[in-house]
Chain A
Amino acid sequence: DQQVKQNSPSLSVQEGRISILNCDYTNSMFDYFLWYKKYPAEGPTFLISISSIKDKNEDGRFTVFLNKSAKHLSLHIVPSQPGDSAVYFCAASPYNNNDMRFGAGTRLTVKP
């Protein structure tokens, strides 16, 4: 069973606009959430995280929002740049990260 779901396999956005990537989870024990970015032929790289005690975390152009009641998180990229084109994975874990679960990924394409 997929405890972390990314329902959009792909997203295309114009350069300079906002990219919004969504993620839903089912396990109420998850309390740490992360986004990873993956370029072809490379491993995933950690992008940004949020713990369940917060509802927003911001790092430069990247903001993650967490809605615990809806079991939903989203990643906002503003403004989007062509170099942001990659596959983005949402991940979640309970108290420690040894049981981290990943979504299937969303391929973001930012068009110049």
Chain B
Amino acid sequence: DVKVTQSSRYLVKRTGEKVFLECVQDMDHENMFWYRQDPGLGLRLIYFSYDVKMKEKGDIPEGYSVSREKKERFSLILESASTNQTSMYLCASSLGRDLDNQPQHFGDGTRLSIL
């Protein structure tokens, strides 16, 4: 079974802080994704990555950046946290860019509160 592990289940930070959310997958997947989940809005894609050091913007990249230095690890960075970034953050991975029709596998999420 694919295991996607997010380093923190709950996190509380203050406005203006730089926040790091970490995600690790153990199945040698090429693709990794960061979403946020908000009530009534479903999951919205922030950033994704096809490969090491590659990144692509999703629908809502403003205020975020990402880092993928190793294939198994994908970090989401809030450069200067704001209260509207309080949300549930979900990391996902999938097998490979050139393979069609693959589901994404999700971690258990990080509930981030910005005070």
Interface on A for B, CB 8 Å cutoff? 2, 4, 6, 9, 32, 34, 36, 41-46, 49, 51, 89, 91, 95-105
Q: Are A102 and B42 in contact, CB atoms less than 8 angstroms apart?
A: yes
Q: Are B101 and A49 in contact, CB atoms less than 8 angstroms apart?
A: yes
Q: Are A32 and B100 in contact, CB atoms less than 8 angstroms apart?
A: yes
| Minimum C-beta distance from B38 to chain A (A) | 9
Partner of B4, one of A32, A43, A49: A43
Interface residues on B, range: 20 to 34
Q: When A43-B4, A43-B90, A44-B90 are in contact, do A97 and B104 touch as well, CB less than 8 Å?
A: yes
Partner of A100, one of B9, B104, B107, B108: B104
Query: Which of B43-51, B61-69, B78-86 lies at the binding interface?
Result: B43-51
